[in-house]
């Protein structure tokens, strides 16, 4: 791959072996995305497929994708036919259908996500003869962070019989799961974006007048949470143990990397010794922070929903907000609770997003735990009851209610 006058010259290779594992995954992710432009996935099995992956490059856990950019590949210069990959979790792969024949693929890489006028860096168009069963996959590798002047590497791989490979065939014809909670939420955001520009299909209807009246007849409702002390104790002990193990492993690994024997790791005769101590100290500080943050919020709270809004009464940072002041409510379901799951994501929770006018009027800040209700704080069934009571009120007032169990938000409908 080379670049000439800001034009990236890609590489093109013929792929004879198995395709990478990310290709079937990209097909499944695209099939899970909401219907409607841009870049439709056909209802029937396509005759050929184009997939793209924006590789992470030298990203780190603190910077999953450093440049915050995306890539778009158009087919025959048609803005409505192509594939995109965004430098966001769950969205850095994508796929689309190809029609057999002579096709020209035009890519733009490094497109800024926040600047609509940023078209990125163009890639020299590639013309391919596409036959039935062909799979074309494109990999975009970000430049190293130390070489910002180096353009991304773009490579096209053509697998003439790629669609006949078992993993790809299963991705094309098999049943598709709903995806992870993060992916469902991202798809809900895509649906909302489509509604705003008029390209999305009609959303599901909101509550009917009869449903609203039935909802009002059951109000007000009040729930009192549990302290959650025992659950938080289990989670904290488990997490502290895991952090201690991670800190010990960091000490050992840094010591061995410095050329020391396992029994002679810390002797403070090289800079690696100090790095090992810093790593271990960081684990201890993290464990202390986890204990303080976990047990600092174990007091009970009271949630009341009436026809006007919702109140969350607690000793610190109580909340009272009318439905008309709520922008949207997000329900994230993350499955069964277990201590190990906490290391990857919090338990299932409800998050309320207030409108800007409410924030300006009250001085309260958006985000944070004050706007969240976690499932483990309530008895079995109560969390679902709270969610069911919030949804009609939010939608009737013109807000949105998103659930990770359904990628399509219901359209708000005035009472």
Provide the CATH topology of domain 209-225+299-403. PH-domain like (2.30.29)
Q: Return d(Cα 415, Cα 412) in angstroms, integer.
A: 10
Element (H, E) at 210: helix 209-217
pLDDT at 308: 94
Output the CA–CA distances (angstroms, integers) from residue 15 to 103, 135, 202, 287, 301, in the order listed: 18, 9, 41, 48, 59
pLDDT at 339: 42
pLDDT at 346: 46
List alpha helices for 258-312, DSSP H. 271-295
pLDDT at 415: 39
The answer to whether 159 touches 15, Cβ cutoff 8 Å, is: yes
pLDDT at 349: 82
Q: Cis peptide before 228, with omega less than 30 degrees from 0? A: no
pLDDT at 245: 64
The answer to whether 179 touches 36, Cβ cutoff 8 Å, is: no
pLDDT at 207: 80
Q: Return d(Cα 97, Cα 40) in angstroms, integer.
A: 8
- State if pTM tops 0.75: no
pLDDT at 360: 87
pLDDT at 161: 92
The answer to whether 223 touches 386, Cβ cutoff 8 Å, is: yes
Domain ranges of the chain: 2-177, 209-225+299-403, 229-295
Sheet strand arrangement including 319-322: 221-224, 302-305, 309-313, 319-322
> Could you report the average pLDDT of every consecutive run of 10 residues in the chain (415 residues)?
66 93 92 68 88 68 50 84 75 89 89 58 92 94 68 91 94 83 69 54 68 91 80 62 62 52 50 61 65 60 94 88 90 56 56 88 80 84 91 88 55 41
Q: Return d(Cα 359, Cα 321) in angstroms, integer.
A: 10
């Amino acid at each position: 791959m080379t670049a000439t006058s800001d034009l990236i010259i890609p590489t093109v290779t013929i792929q004879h072996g198995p395709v990478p594992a990310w290709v079937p995954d990209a097909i499944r992710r695209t099939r899970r995305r909401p219907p409607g432009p841009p870049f439709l996935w056909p209802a029937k099995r396509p005759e050929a497929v184009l997939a793209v992956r924006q590789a992470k490059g030298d990203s780190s856990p603190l910077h999953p994708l450093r440049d915050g950019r995306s890539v778009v590949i158009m087919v025959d210069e048609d803005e409505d036919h192509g594939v995109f990959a965004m430098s966001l979790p769950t969205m850095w792969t994508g796929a689309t259908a190809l029609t057999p024949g002579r096709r020209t693929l035009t890519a733009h890489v490094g497109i800024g996500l926040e600047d609509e006028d940023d078209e990125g860096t163009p890639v020299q168009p590639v013309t391919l003869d596409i036959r039935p069963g062909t799979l074309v996959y494109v990999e975009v590798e970000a430049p190293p962070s130390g070489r910002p002047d180096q353009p991304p590497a773009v490579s096209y791989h053509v697998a003439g019989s790629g669609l006949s490979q078992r993993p790809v065939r299963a991705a094309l014809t098999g049943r598709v799961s709903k995806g992870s909670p993060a992916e469902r939420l991202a798809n809900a955001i895509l649906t909302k974006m489509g509604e705003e520009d008029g390209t999305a299909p009609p959303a599901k209807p909101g509550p009917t007048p009869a449903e609203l009246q039935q909802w009002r007849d059951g109000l007000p409702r009040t729930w009192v949470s549990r302290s959650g002390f025992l659950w938080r104790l289990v989670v904290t002990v488990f997490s502290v143990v895991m952090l201690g193990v991670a800190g010990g492993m960091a000490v050992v690994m840094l010591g061995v990397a410095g050329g020391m024997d396992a029994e002679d790791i810390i002797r403070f005769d090289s800079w690696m010794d100090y790095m090992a101590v810093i790593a271990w100290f960081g684990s201890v500080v993290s464990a202390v922070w986890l204990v303080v943050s976990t047990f600092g919020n174990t007091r009970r709270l009271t949630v009341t929903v009436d026809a006007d809004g919702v109140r969350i009464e607690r000793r610190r940072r109580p909340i009272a907000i009318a439905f008309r002041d709520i922008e949207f409510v997000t329900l994230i379901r993350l499955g069964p609770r277990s201590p190990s799951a906490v290391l990857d994501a919090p338990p299932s929770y409800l998050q309320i997003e207030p409108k800007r006018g409410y924030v300006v009027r009250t001085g309260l800040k958006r985000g944070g735990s004050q706007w969240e209700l976690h499932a483990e704080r309530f008895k079995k069934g109560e969390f679902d009851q709270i969610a069911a009571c919030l949804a009609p009120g939010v939608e009737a007032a013109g807000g949105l209610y998103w659930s990770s169990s359904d990628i399509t938000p219901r359209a708000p409908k005035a009472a």
